[in-house]
Amino acid sequence: MPFRLVSAWNKRRRSRSHDQNDPWVYKPVEHWQLENQVPAVKRKLVPLVFTYKEMDEATYSFSEGNLLGKGGFGRVYKGILKSGQVVAVKKMDLPSFREADGEREFRVEVDILSRLDHPNLVALIGYCADGKHRFLVYEFMQNGNLQSHLNGITETKMDWPLRLKIALGAARGLAYLHSSTTIGIPIIHRDFKSTNILLDVNFEAKISDFGLAKLIPEGQEVYVTSRVLGDLGSESLYLLGIGWSLVVENSKPGTRPLGTNLSSSVQ
């Protein structure tokens, strides 16, 4: 019996140690706050918490007519809340072997987006964690994502001034994330691509999909990602340069989008 107790205690201790050192284990923003740091600025709007019934009603029982697209996380539907606000509802729909990853990405996105407030980042209206159901509710972006326009799926004329406007907006969003001006901690998106650059009615660019984002505490030696290493300042400028180059290159008239997924090379 004593042997079993010691064995169980050692197993629990190793599990705790792994949780503390493994960068892939989800941890809230407060975990990365440095001592004597200025408190984070609170968002003006607190994300709403929805029930599964409300999500079902908003999307007309997830009607195919309301389907906006599909992604790695699941499906995205157009929805109308009881208030009359039009939103985009992302429904987590993953195979069982990916449910743990999906749960982590869901928590990261809620935790990060609920604290950020910038015109070039998509706004999180609310979320649903009702039983096993997981939904993210965003502001509705009338012009979809950048890739659909670059591929010629839409009829919008993407002239050079418009492409440059979108590239500048996306770059401002990245600069904001890397500058840590709001929550006090720089954020690396790690999934920056044309499908994650959404466009509103005025073709203002807004970065979306923060499920793979990582927090990088400045001045603290912590491995929070498998490949983003080294000096924070140079890394931020490096990634910002890559992001800017990617958007500008993809936005050149007459060219097919290249490198639609940056995360495969920069994680």
How many CA within 13 A on the CB side of residue 117? Answer: 11
pLDDT value of position 261: 45
Question: In this structure, is residue 16 part of a structural domain?
Answer: no
Q: Are residues 184 and 258 in the same domain?
A: yes
pLDDT value of position 221: 46
Q: What is the dihedral of CA 189, 146, 85, 202, to 10 degrees?
A: 110
Q: For residue 164, what are the contacts with CB-CB under 8 A and spacing of at least 6?
A: 248, 251
Name the more confident of 110 and 12.
110
Question: In this structure, is residue 246 part of a structural domain?
Answer: yes
Q: Are residues 165 and 231 in the same domain?
A: yes
Report DSSP state, residue 122: -
Integer CA distances (angstroms), 78 to 13, 55, 56, 85, in order: 46, 10, 11, 11
Which residue in 244, 261, 257 sits closest to 205, CA to CA?
Answer: 244
pLDDT exceeds 80 at position 35: no
Provide the β-strand partners of residue 199.
205
Q: For residue 63, what are the contacts with CB-CB under 8 A and spacing of at least 6?
A: 77
Question: In this structure, is residue 239 part of a structural domain?
Answer: yes
Average pLDDT, the chain: 75
Q: Are residues 158 and 106 in the same domain?
A: no
Print the domain residue range for 245: 146-264
pLDDT value of position 62: 97
Q: Are residues 134 and 150 in the same domain?
A: no
pLDDT value of position 233: 42
Domain boundary among 121, 139, 157: 139
CA dist 110 and 114 (Å) reads 6
Domain boundary among 139, 157, 177: 139
CA dist 62 and 55 (Å) reads 8
Domain boundary among 99, 119, 139: 139
Mind listing the pLDDT tens digit for each residue in 57-87? 999 999 999 999 988 788 999 999 999 999 9
Q: Are residues 54 and 79 in the same domain?
A: yes
Name the more confident of 234 and 25.
25
CB atoms within 10 A of CB 263: 14
Report DSSP state, residue 121: B
Q: Are residues 201 and 252 in the same domain?
A: yes
**Domain count of the chain?**
2
pLDDT value of position 169: 94
178: which 2 tokens?
Answer: 């890397």
What is the CATH number for 80?
3.30.200.20
Q: Are residues 134 and 185 in the same domain?
A: no
Q: Are residues 175 and 229 in the same domain?
A: yes
pLDDT value of position 205: 96
Question: In this structure, is residue 204 part of a structural domain?
Answer: yes
Concatenated DSSP letters for 37-63? PPPPPPPSSPPEE--HHHHHHHTTTT-
> Which three-class secondary structure state does DSSP give residue 68?
strand
Q: Are residues 124 and 172 in the same domain?
A: no
Question: In this structure, is residue 115 part of a structural domain?
Answer: yes
91 labelled ligand-binding: yes
Question: In this structure, is residue 20 part of a structural domain?
Answer: no
Report DSSP state, residue 119: T
pLDDT value of position 241: 53
User: What percentage of the chain exceeds 70 in pLDDT?
Assistant: 63
Mind listing the pLDDT tens digit for each residue in 210-224? 888 887 765 554 444
| Alpha helices per DSSP H over 138-159 | 146-150
What is the CATH number for 247?
1.10.510.10
What is the arithmetic mean of pLDDT over 157-168?
91
CA dist 110 and 189 (Å) reads 14
Q: Are residues 129 and 160 in the same domain?
A: no
Name the more confident of 137 and 147.
137
pLDDT value of position 255: 55
Q: Which residue is catalytic, options 111, 117, 159, 191?
A: 191
Q: Are residues 204 and 166 in the same domain?
A: yes
Which residue in 158, 236, 141, 159 sits closest to 192, CA to CA?
Answer: 236
Active site residue 56: no
What is the arithmetic mean of pLDDT over 118-138?
95
Question: In this structure, is residue 178 part of a structural domain?
Answer: yes
Integer CA distances (angstroms), 29 to 48, 109, 213, 214, 226, in order: 19, 11, 12, 10, 19
Which residue in 89, 45, 90 sits closest to 71, CA to CA?
Answer: 90
pLDDT value of position 208: 93
Question: In this structure, is residue 31 part of a structural domain?
Answer: no
Q: Are residues 175 and 247 in the same domain?
A: yes
